[in-house]
């Protein structure tokens, strides 16, 4: 069989390009060895945010001292239902656009040939949207009890005690979710602080919030060993410290899924970490073959992968290319007290030797913040020296995941802050901070006591 384009992988990096190409009449196939929708839909964003919704409800009701009796099986059924619907949505989209779905592993045989369980197929262009696998601890394989993001949202029983190894985004999100649901969570991070890629002042607020919500955090600690004993996991930490837990989530990193794909048959190179090397058009070292999404590295985020998929499509059909500015990809940690940022961190600006002004704007006076959690919230602004440009913005607040998008136009266009300060933003929302930030930069904030007073 011969196709105009074959895409290996049906996740967020794969299906957008497939849909866009097929819509224009190209003959397109998607090869998927597991579940349509890939990591995000089946094991990542979708199940985690479904469970997060439940965790948020628990968190809300704690404030009014309510008792909740929830059946864990019903909760996971809900998660499965949402995942199932999302997966079927993508299947429908592919089918409706006449994209052929080939259920198989795909292996490159040459620049234009892919071996599948259904025989070898030919493709004018190939897009690799292979994704990543979770990285295991050294010498400890994943199993029913030492799990990754692939299993944690679907476990048969809610663990009474959960060890989370790795305080990155997944580790922090899972710690918060299970802590809210009543599990005793111990979060272990090897580096100086959790979320080590973030500025310390932001990371320690998250540390404080998680601790206040019952998560035990151990930083600068490495798990030495995990053994099974009497249906439990016995975890060995430094200084002979022993923990006994029911489950362990390992979230210490990702491994690009490039093994056994036949990259060598097409002359495709990978970098030192195994990520596929691409140029700014997402072409691999074999210019007939594109690679997008997590497998090319950068921020491992669904929305970044989707834009790369669109970019690959545009380059394949010869439309005007898209150039993504990776430092401007908004990021979010969905953790009750949410953390969202866009632009640069202080660490990044310092390493680039860019001078900046830092403004920390407390926002606990906002009623929306008060209702959902008052004491931790603030906005950190990193402005250019002359205060004309926002270099980075960090929002530490409930619902920050939605609010960060309000700042996107400020980063990609020049927005007149005076106009924003003079525009009513809806009360009672967290988004009121947008106007407040504009007011603050201009110098006339209502809710902030200025220093000279």
Which backbone phi and psi does 276 adopt, to 5 degrees? Answer: -70, 130
231 near a copy of itself (CB under 8 A) = no
Distances (CA, A) of 219 to 207, 246, 252, 262: 10, 21, 14, 40
In the complex, minimum distance from the CB of residue 264 to a copy of itself, in angstroms, rounded to a whole number: 32
Exposure letters 335-365 (e unless 16+ CB within 10 A, then b): bbbbbbbbbbbbebbeeeeeebeebebebee
49 near a copy of itself (CB under 8 A) = yes
Binding mask 347-386 for a copy of itself (x = CB under 8 A): ------------------x-xx-xxx-x------------
Q: Which residue shows structure tokens 């059924």?
A: 77
Which residues ranging from 51 to 110 are in contact with a copy of itself (CB under 8 A)?
A: 53-54, 56-58, 60-61, 63-71, 74-75, 77-78, 82, 85-86, 89, 93, 96-97
Which residues pair with residue 65 across a beta bridge?
none
DSSP for 212-268 reads HTT-EEEES----EEEEETTEEEEE-STT-EEEESEEEE-S-EEES-TTS-GGGGT-
In the complex, minimum distance from the CB of residue 164 to a copy of itself, in angstroms, rounded to a whole number: 21
Q: How many residues bind a copy of itself (CB under 8 A)?
A: 95
Which is closer to a copy of itself, CB of 31 or CB of 395?
A: 395
Which residues ranging from 142 to 181 are in contact with a copy of itself (CB under 8 A)?
A: none
> Residues 295, 132: contact at Cβ < 8 Å?
yes
322 near a copy of itself (CB under 8 A) = yes
424 near a copy of itself (CB under 8 A) = yes
Query: C-alpha dihedral over 391, 396, 397, 400, to 10 degrees?
Result: 50
Which residues ranging from 251 to 310 are in contact with a copy of itself (CB under 8 A)?
A: 301-304, 306-307, 310
Which is closer to a copy of itself, CB of 17 or CB of 249?
A: 17
Which is closer to a copy of itself, CB of 221 or CB of 368?
A: 368
HSE on the CB side for 43, CA within 13 Å? 17
Please pick, from the candidates 142, 154, 281, 425, the single residue that binds a copy of itself as defined by CB under 8 A.
425
Distances (CA, A) of 408 to 70, 321, 343, 400: 38, 21, 9, 13
In the complex, minimum distance from the CB of residue 98 to a copy of itself, in angstroms, rounded to a whole number: 9
In the complex, minimum distance from the CB of residue 87 to a copy of itself, in angstroms, rounded to a whole number: 10
Which residues ranging from 5 to 24 are in contact with a copy of itself (CB under 8 A)?
A: 12, 16, 19-20, 23
Exposure letters 439-452 (e unless 16+ CB within 10 A, then b): bbbeeebeeeeeee
DSSP-assigned letter for residue 328 = G
In the complex, minimum distance from the CB of residue 67 to a copy of itself, in angstroms, rounded to a whole number: 4
Which residues ranging from 323 to 352 are in contact with a copy of itself (CB under 8 A)?
A: 324, 328-332, 334, 340
Instruction: Report angle CA 262, 266, 267 to the nearest 5 degrees.
Output: 105
In the complex, minimum distance from the CB of residue 277 to a copy of itself, in angstroms, rounded to a whole number: 21
Binding mask 401-420 for a copy of itself (x = CB under 8 A): xxxxxx-xxx-xx-xx--xx
- Please tell me whether the peptide bond between 54 and the residue prior to it is cis, using omega within 30 degrees of 0: no
120 near a copy of itself (CB under 8 A) = no
Which is closer to a copy of itself, CB of 191 or CB of 317?
A: 317
In the complex, minimum distance from the CB of residue 452 to a copy of itself, in angstroms, rounded to a whole number: 9
Q: How far is CA 143 from the centre of its chain?
A: 24
């Amino acid at each position: 069989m011969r196709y105009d384009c074959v895409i290996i992988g049906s996740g967020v990096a794969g299906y957008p390009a497939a849909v866009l190409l097929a819509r224009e009449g190209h003959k397109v196939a998607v090869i998927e060895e597991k579940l349509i929708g890939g990591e995000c839909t089946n094991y990542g964003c979708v199940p985690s945010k479904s469970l997060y919704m439940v965790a948020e409800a628990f968190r809300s009701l704690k404030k009014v001292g309510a008792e909740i009796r929830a059946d864990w099986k019903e909760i996971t059924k809900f998660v499965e239902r949402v995942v199932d619907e999302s997966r079927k949505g993508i299947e429908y989209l592919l089918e409706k656009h006449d994209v052929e779905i080939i259920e198989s592993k795909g292996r490159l045989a040459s620049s234009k040939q892919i071996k599948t369980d259904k025989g070898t197929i030919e493709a004018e262009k190939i897009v690799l949207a292979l994704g990543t696998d979770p990285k295991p601890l050294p010498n400890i394989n994943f199993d029913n009890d030492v799990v990754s993001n692939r299993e944690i949202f679907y476990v048969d029983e809610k663990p009474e005690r959960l060890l989370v190894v790795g305080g990155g985004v997944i580790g922090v999100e899972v710690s918060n979710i299970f802590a809210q649901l009543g599990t005793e969570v111990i979060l272990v991070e090897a580096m100086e602080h959790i979320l080590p890629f973030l500025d310390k002042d932001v990371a320690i607020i998250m540390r404080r919030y998680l601790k206040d919500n019952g998560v035990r955090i151990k930083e600068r600690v490495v798990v030495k060993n995990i053994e099974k004993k009497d249906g439990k996991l016995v975890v060995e930490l430094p200084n002979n410290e022993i923990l006994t837990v029911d489950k362990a989530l390992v979230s210490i990193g990702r491994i690009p899924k490039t093994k056994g794909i036949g990259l060598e048959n097409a002359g495709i190179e990978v970098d030192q970490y195994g990520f596929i090397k691409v140029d700014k058009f997402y072409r691999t070292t074999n210019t007939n073959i594109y690679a997008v999404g997590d497998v090319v590295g950068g921020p491992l985020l669904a929305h970044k992968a989707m834009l790369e998929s669109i970019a690959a499509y545009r380059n394949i059909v010869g439309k005007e290319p898209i150039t993504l500015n990776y430092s401007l990809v908004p990021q979010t940690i969905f953790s009750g007290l949410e953390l969202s940022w866009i632009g640069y961190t202080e660490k990044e600006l310092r390493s680039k030797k860019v001078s900046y002004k830092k403004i920390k704007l407390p926002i606990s006076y906002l009623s929306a913040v008060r209702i959902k959690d008052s004491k931790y919230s603030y906005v950190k602004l990193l402005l250019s020296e002359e205060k004309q440009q926002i270099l980075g913005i960090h929002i530490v607040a409930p619902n920050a995941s939605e609010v960060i998008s309000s700042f996107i136009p400020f980063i990609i266009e020049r927005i007149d802050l005076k106009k924003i300060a003079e525009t009513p933003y809806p009360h009672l929302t967290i988004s009121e901070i947008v106007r407040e930030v504009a007011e603050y930069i201009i110098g006339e904030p209502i809710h902030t006591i200025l220093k000279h007073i």
